[in-house]
A and B are shown apart, each in its own frame.
Chain A
Amino acid sequence: MMEFSFEINGGDFSNAGMISSLVKKTLKQLNIDGMIIRRTVVALYEAEVNIVAHAYSGVVNVNIFPDKIKIKLTDKGTGIADIDLAMQQGYSTASPAVREMGFGAGMGLPNIKNNTDELNLESTVGVGTMLEFTNFFEPK
């Protein structure tokens, strides 16, 4: 098993995507199938942007096993009041400032769901959110 962890600062849009790129490089070195790399990276990038857009700070834990990659993102932030609503396409609570930067179209969570095999989301309003997802290297 391999383990990495990274920190994310809320509002730091210019660095959003750095963790995805690092994870992508690692998965390529591990000879993981291209489509699985792509799905993982797309989901991780969306999740990174979510923290940057909605939270004060966050931690990303990446665990790579021989058969799967498990990524856990924990943030301190506003939290999500209605998870079911947030999972709907087009729903967004992003501020106008965030939307102006080209983010916040309300595609984040649904897109993460579409690109992951297992997804777990827990949130407490005013405290923060924990998003955990897994992608298997061999298609199930």
Chain B
Amino acid sequence: MEQHYFNHALTFRKDICIGCSHCMTACPTEAIRVKNGKAKLIDERCVDCGECYRVCPVGAITVDQNSLEEISNYEYPIALVPSVFSGQFPDNITHAEIIQSFYDLGFSEVYEVEHSVDFVVEEYEKYLQKEHARPFISTFCPSVVRLIQVKFPTLIPNLLLHKAPLDYTALYARKKLLDQGVEPDKIGVFYVTPCAAKIVAIKSPVGEEKSTIDGALNMNYMFNKSFRIIKNGISSKNKPTKKPLSKQSICWSLTTGESSIFSNIRSLAIDEISNVLEFLEKVENDELDGIDFLELRACDESCAGGILCQGNRFLTAEKLRKRATYCETVEHKNKPKTEKEFFEMIDYLRENSEVQPILARPIMKLDDNVVEAMSKMKRMYEITNVLPQVDCGICGTPSCQSFAEDIVQGRADIKQCVFVQRILEQNEKLLAVDSANIMKDIWGHKKLNKNSLRDELKDIM
């Protein structure tokens, strides 16, 4: 079975895009093409990693997000703030001030996402005892799950089908209000997200029917809102702060956050999407010996390197680890760490956290029919042999290989290759003016207007 419904949180703004193709080159799944001078996303191939967003020089890729005003639609808006959020701030701003700023922004409850980590760890430990394809692959990073769906469907049985701390904290926060007699419609759960993938996970979840979260707030946007309030002075009416997080909770979203916890088994942590891609190839070949658990994260330095984190990822990670060490000191140790209520609510949490099977979304297949796919592949080889293997991207496709595939799939014409054009022109099979028109279809009229160079380069014109 395959999944055919996609929804992405990244929007390519045609009015801003300058057709520079940086995003096309950066995309790890070759999901972007350039046409009519604008970048175009092939929805099926996108895994929401946000590498395109990182490299866009003009900010033409925007993230679909909820705005802060939307919290007023709910009588009880709850903020779920991940620990990496506080890592964005300078040292002289305290964690308590950051949390208080959310109350001042209008939230009635503020939770750190990682409040449920100690509970989740116990649930995971039980899950890891199960009869299961090894190694277990964590489903914490939504981009990694999507990458496996599209490029490594044979590894779907290895995915650890368990909800993330975010879902449990959301369930818990909501349930606490429900128990106080609050009507369900009046509760709105908002997550401050460090990445686009989490937004998609909320809007079109994989492995669950409906998300437990009502809205996603861009972390960068919330950093500005929160910082401004702190700078102008937060209100003094301090809300009771939640119990401090344990060390493992604070570090959960950093690299080795999961793998370091399961010390009784062999586990490994890998971050950054090209590293993950390289490693999944090995996993798929069954080249690993005795590794039981894989923590894979799409961003360098994991969530500290999320595309919506404005702070430097290394500094954020360092701050979090420092805070975690502080939480381990004696004065903190005496306070109860994890919220016991999570365990008291265990039946409710388990009942409401069932995970649906994850389906393949294979992008590599050339055709559903094997015979047809074989003949397309043969043509692809023939075409690839003609292409220069320069991967210049001037055809509007990220590589000669993907260009050959686009041709056999009817999405591109071999005359889009500049090398093929020159060969055809030498053989008088193509006129220079036709070549120019083909280029205009790819890169837009502006870049190839024959009058545009006249003033600047008088000498050569």
State the A residues within 8 Å of B (CB): 1-2, 17, 20-21, 24-26, 28-32, 34-35, 37-38, 41-42, 45, 64, 66-67, 102, 137
Contacts and interface: CB of A to CB of B under 8 A. Distances in A.
B286 A38 contact: yes
B266 to A, nearest CB: 14
B367 interface: yes
A31 B286 contact: no
Nearest to B380: A29
7 contacts: A17-B282, A24-B284, A26-B377, A30-B370, A31-B370, A41-B285, A66-B371
A35 B365 CA distance: 15
Interface in B336-377: 360, 362, 364-371, 373-374, 377
B286 A29 contact: no
Contacts of B153: 34
Interface in B14-62: none
B368 A31 contact: yes
**Interface core residue of B156, B282, B286, B371 (most chain A CB under 10 Å):** B286
Contacts of B289: 102
Contacts of B331: none
Contacts of A29: 364-366, 373, 377
A126 to B, nearest CB: 31
B1 to A, nearest CB: 11
Nearest to B369: A31
Nearest to A16: B287
The 3 A-B residue pairs with the shortest CB-CB distance in the complex, in nearest-first order:
A31-B365, A34-B154, A28-B364
Nearest to A49: B287
Contacts of A38: 154, 284, 286
Contacts of A67: 370
A30 B373 contact: yes
A66 B287 CA distance: 28
Given A30-B373, A38-B286, A66-B370, A21 B281 contact: yes
A2 B285 contact: no
B366 A17 contact: no
Contacts of A102: 289
Contacts of B366: 29-31
Nearest to A2: B374
A95 to B, nearest CB: 19
Contacts of B374: 1-2, 30, 64, 66
Contacts of A45: 285-287
B378 interface: yes
B381 to A, nearest CB: 9
A38 B153 CA distance: 10
**Interface core residue of A2, A31, A137 (most chain B CB under 10 Å):** A31
B370 A28 contact: no
B285 A31 contact: no
A37 B154 contact: yes
A18 B284 CA distance: 13
A108 to B, nearest CB: 12
Given A2-B378, A28-B362, A34-B153, A42 B373 contact: no
A29 B362 CA distance: 9
